[in-house]
């Protein structure tokens, strides 16, 4: 009987320790679980997610990453609990503009042409930064048209915890918006006294830390920026006051290209000094098409016009398959917007970004 009581006591202790360990694990992972549980399939390869976890941008900014290996090592250790993310970077070609809508509000429109894959609109609420909404091609974290995020809480979705570091456009609670667009050439000077990051982390930096265009440009100037997979890019940035620049890494420095008009357009060519360096002339053609619509409207674009415009300047592959993956219009005045997949405006949804 005494031996049986000892065995029972040991079993109870083991069970108690197991419960404590399970509770500790749940408490450790609870924000990640909440984040992944918020995943919603919007259809047409589009997803939304409310990111409740700490993606540790401030910690990243202390050391940065000088290449993708260092970036993915940080993400694997700090966000994904040791799971290794698949890495890929889409071949993108896009068009974006800062203009006004029919109410006079500042708007930021952009479409995203790239290799077919699911995409995600993610909401972030950092403790020491601005709340924002951003859009991420899920190819960047290992999903493609044959492999989409799983339904429900699944181990397969752990790579989604990396999405804050791969935003390609977005808007924050202060009405600052930014979008990456591919260009054929960049020219930068490495400063060993500056922390380094890639171009998608630069978008996260702007969304989390900048309240104006000027602040965004100043922030970019404090860091080295490298280009993942040699996917050279420039950044269109706009704010709620109607200010805008195209931030280009060209001629050995960060260039802030402004517009002489009350609107600004970016595509896939170098804008600095009107050099218009491009790989394909359709970049200039798309810019001219956007400018024509803006000027014809007197720089007062209603939402339907924006949708039709962004759909019309989306690209196709040589085999006639569609490259346009999403389009989005951010209202920088109201901190609201509309996004839709492919060219399907009827599948759009509206969203807002509220101050924390």
Sign of CA dihedral 148, 151, 152, 153: negative
* pLDDT (0 to 100) of residue 354: 87
Nearest-angstrom CA–CA distance, 219 and 225 = 11
User: Cβ–Cβ contacts within 10 Å for residue 328, how many?
Assistant: 27
* pLDDT (0 to 100) of residue 145: 81
* pLDDT (0 to 100) of residue 62: 98
Q: How confident is the model at residue 206 (pLDDT cuts 50, 70, 90)?
A: very high
User: Cβ–Cβ contacts within 10 Å for residue 152, how many?
Assistant: 9
Question: Angle 129-132-133 (CA atoms, 0-180°, nearest 5)?
Answer: 155
* pLDDT (0 to 100) of residue 24: 44
Burial of 287 (0-12, 13-18, 19+ CB in 10 A): buried
Lowest mean pLDDT among 30-34, 163-167, 273-277, 303-307: 273-277
Bin 78: left if φ > 0, else alpha if -120 < ψ < 50, else beta: alpha
CA 243 to chain centroid: 21
What is the dihedral angle through the alpha carbons of 107, 177, 336, 35, rounded to the nearest 10 degrees? Answer: 160
Give the pLDDT confidence of 87-96 residue by residue, as tens digits.
555 556 799 9
Give the pLDDT confidence of 124-155 residue by residue, as tens digits.
999 999 999 999 999 999 898 888 898 877 88
Give the pLDDT confidence of 185-198 residue by residue, as tens digits.
999 889 999 999 99
**How are beta strands 224-226 and 244-250 bridged, if at all?**
unpaired
Nearest-angstrom CA–CA distance, 159 and 140 = 10
User: pTM of this prediction?
Assistant: 0.90
Residues contacting residue 221 through CB under 8 Å, at least 6 positions apart: 254
Strand partners, 264: 98
Nearest C-alpha neighbor of 325 from the set 138, 163, 157, 198:
138
Nearest-angstrom CA–CA distance, 328 and 252 = 32
What are the boundaries of each domain within the chain? 38-352
For residue 266, the surrounding DSSP H or E stretch is strand 264-266
* pLDDT (0 to 100) of residue 320: 83
CATH number of 38-352: 3.60.60.10
Q: What is the DSSP letter of 150?
A: P
Check whether 329 has a pLDDT greater than 60.
yes
Query: What size, in residues, is the chain?
Result: 356
Q: How confident is the model at residue 23 (pLDDT cuts 50, 70, 90)?
A: very low
* pLDDT (0 to 100) of residue 27: 47
Average pLDDT, rounded, for the chain: 90
Q: How confident is the model at residue 9 (pLDDT cuts 50, 70, 90)?
A: low
* pLDDT (0 to 100) of residue 105: 98
Q: How confident is the model at residue 29 (pLDDT cuts 50, 70, 90)?
A: low
Nearest-angstrom CA–CA distance, 202 and 106 = 23
Give the pLDDT confidence of 47-101 residue by residue, as tens digits.
999 999 999 999 999 999 999 999 999 999 999 876 666 655 555 679 999 999 9
Q: How confident is the model at residue 229 (pLDDT cuts 50, 70, 90)?
A: confident
């Amino acid at each position: 009987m005494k031996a049986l009581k000892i065995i029972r006591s040991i079993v109870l202790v083991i069970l108690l320790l197991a419960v404590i360990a399970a509770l500790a694990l749940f408490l450790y992972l609870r924000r990640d679980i909440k984040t992944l549980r918020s995943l919603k399939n919007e259809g047409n390869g589009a997803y939304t997610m409310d990111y409740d976890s700490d993606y540790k941008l401030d910690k990243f900014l202390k050391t940065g990453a000088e290449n993708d290996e260092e970036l993915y090592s940080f993400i694997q250790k700090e966000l994904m609990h040791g799971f290794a993310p698949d890495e890929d970077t889409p071949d993108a070609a896009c068009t974006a503009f800062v203009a006004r809508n029919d109410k006079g509000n500042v708007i930021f429109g952009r479409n995203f042409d790239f290799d077919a894959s699911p995409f995600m609109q993610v909401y972030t609420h950092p403790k020491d930064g601005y709340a924002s909404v951003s859009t991420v091609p899920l190819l960047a974290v290992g999903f493609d048209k044959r492999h989409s995020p799983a339904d429900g809480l699944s181990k397969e979705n752990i790579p989604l915890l990396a999405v804050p570091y791969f935003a390609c456009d977005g808007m924050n609670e202060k009405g600052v918006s930014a979008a990456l667009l591919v260009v054929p050439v960049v020219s930068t000077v490495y400063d060993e006294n500056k922390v380094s990051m890639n171009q998608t982390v630069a978008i996260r930096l702007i969304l989390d830390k900048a309240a104006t265009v000027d602040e965004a440009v100043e922030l970019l100037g404090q860091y080295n920026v490298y280009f993942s997979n040699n996917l050279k890019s420039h950044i269109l940035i706009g704010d709620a006051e109607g200010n805008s620049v195209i931030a280009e890494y060209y001629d050995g420095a960060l260039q802030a290209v402004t517009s002489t008009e009350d609107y600004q357009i970016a595509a896939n060519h170098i804008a600095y000094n009107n050099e218009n360096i491009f790989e394909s002339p359709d970049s200039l053609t798309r810019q001219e098409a956007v400018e024509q619509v803006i000027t014809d409207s007197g720089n007062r674009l209603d939402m339907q016009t924006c949708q039709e415009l962004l759909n019309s300047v989306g690209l196709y592959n040589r085999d006639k398959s569609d490259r346009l993956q999403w389009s989005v219009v951010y209202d920088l005045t109201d901190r609201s917007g509309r996004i839709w997949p492919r060219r399907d405006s009827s599948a759009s949804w509206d969203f807002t970004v509220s101050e924390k």
